[in-house]
Amino acid sequence: MVSLEQELKEMLLRELKIEDVDPEDLWDDAPLFGEGGWGLDSLDAVEIVVLLQKHYQVEIKNMEEGRAAFTSIHTLADYIRAHRPIGQFKDN
């Protein structure tokens, strides 16, 4: 079974049109924004917010939580697990 982290990585690479990168090379704790990781910026965050709403019915309303969630793939997956509506949670 594909982990939620892996699913997120593949979704971001596909939807944000990040090319020439192997998802295996991007470790789960790599920073999403700024230097030294995925190198995403605020415009990519706009896309991620909508993708989370569309695919996981998860909204980031509290910005303190949002700031922590947007740290890495790992923290994003944790946020989804904690906030996904009951009944929609898969084993990943």
Contacts with another protein by CB under 8 A lie at 33, 41-43, 45-47, 49-50, 53, 59-61, 63, 66-67, 70
Please say which residue, 23 or 66, places its beta carbon nearer to another protein.
66
Please say which residue, 2 or 14, places its beta carbon nearer to another protein.
14
**Integer CA distances (angstroms), 72 to 37, 48, 64, 86, 87, in order:** 9, 12, 15, 24, 25
> Could you tell me the smallest distance in angstroms from the CB atom of residue 47 to another protein?
6
Please say which residue, 6 or 78, places its beta carbon nearer to another protein.
78
Amino acid at 54: K
> Could you tell me the smallest distance in angstroms from the CB atom of residue 24 to another protein?
27
Q: Which two tokens stand for residue 31?
A: 């920073």
> Could you tell me the smallest distance in angstroms from the CB atom of residue 88 to another protein?
18
Please say which residue, 37 or 92, places its beta carbon nearer to another protein.
37
Instruction: Compute the Cα dihedral for 92, 7, 44, 39 and give only its sign.
Output: positive
Contact status, residue 28 vs residue 72, Cβ threshold 8 Å? yes
Integer Cα distance of 37 and 86 in angstroms: 32
